[in-house]
Amino acid sequence: MRFAILFLLFTSPIFTQKDTSHFDYDHKAPLDVQEAAVAHRGDIAIHDISYASPKGGRVPAYLVVPKGKGPFPAVLWGHWYWPTSEFANRKEFLEEAVVLAKSGVVSLLTSGPIARPGYQQPKSPFTEEAAAYLEQQVIDMRRGADLLLTRKDVDPMRVAYVGHSYNASVGAILSGIDKRFNSFVLMAGGLSFDVDRNTPTYQNIRNKMGTEKFDAVLAKYNWSDPGLYVSHAAPAPVFLQYASQENFLTPEVTRKYFDNVSEPKKYKLYDAPHALNSEARRDRGMFLQSHLKLKRVDWDALAKVPDLPQPAN
């Protein structure tokens, strides 16, 4: 967790231009979707699939599909990166996605690079390796949107993104560069380097590295600042969900993130740890119901989805 937070601390007041070229890829390249297995929960099909990553390797994913021909709304889900969590992968939102499938929602839940074979955690967030993993995750999510939109049973006007922690920051970047999403839920993630640079954590890192060295790093990686992108999320609405029991993502910090997000937007703070809680899950469901135009949601089933366990630091 500490590594994921630290990687979100690159910034400089001098360098404020977006460089979206880091997230470019060949939209016409084959997705090469491969299915390993399929399981059923009543009328709901859970496909164990993978697709090709433009950055190499394959993206493991669950594709959750309701019964019927559609066109259905869809959600692309991004899990947290808490390294000691058994749900730091495509499993985090699976039960939530199954419940929403009962309301006619197609879901794609991917595993990020952290959860794939061969991943090696960079020695420092101030490295090319760390930046390359972020580029890959953003691009892999864009390919996930490509996959959803190739399906005849998906309504292209009703595709949402839900991301937690590291993948909330990824979603913030997506909100400014990929206008195929009609709404975003960003959960407990870092969303602005300009806010982060005024925190004690940021100042301590700067003091340890030295001003000149650190400022050079900031300039090099400024393109990865989620704040440069989420400030241009419009017209897509953005719902920010944060936890009160955080050391770095304090209410003061997260409300400043909210100020930087383009309208329309919504913010809510929960009495919970970084994993958030059932109240946040219900609010998420209500937000998606509104923007995906769902006729009904099984609220009782959603309430029974187990809370994400919060590992110790």
Blockwise average pLDDT, block size 10, the chain, 313 residues: 43 48 95 98 98 97 96 98 96 98 98 92 76 95 98 98 98 98 98 87 82 81 93 98 96 97 98 98 98 96 98 85
Tell whether 285 is covered by a domain: yes
Q: How high is the pLDDT of residue 89?
A: 98
Tell whether 311 is covered by a domain: no
Provide the whole-model pTM: 0.93
Q: How high is the pLDDT of residue 275?
A: 98
Tell whether 254 is covered by a domain: yes
| Counted domains in the chain | 1
Q: How high is the pLDDT of residue 125?
A: 65
User: For residue 36, what is the domain's CATH number?
Assistant: 3.40.50.1820
Q: How high is the pLDDT of residue 17?
A: 52
Tell whether 310 is covered by a domain: no
Tell whether 313 is covered by a domain: no
Tell whether 41 is covered by a domain: yes
The 44-52 sheet, strands edge to edge: 34-41, 44-52, 58-65, 106-110, 72-78, 154-164, 183-187, 238-243, 265-270
Tell whether 312 is covered by a domain: no
Q: Domain limits at 12?
A: 2-303
Question: Which residues in the chain belong to E strands, given as ranges?
Answer: 34-41, 44-52, 58-65, 72-78, 106-110, 154-164, 183-187, 238-243, 265-270
What would the two tokens of residue 310 be? 């919060």
Q: How high is the pLDDT of residue 124?
A: 67
Tell whether 64 is covered by a domain: yes
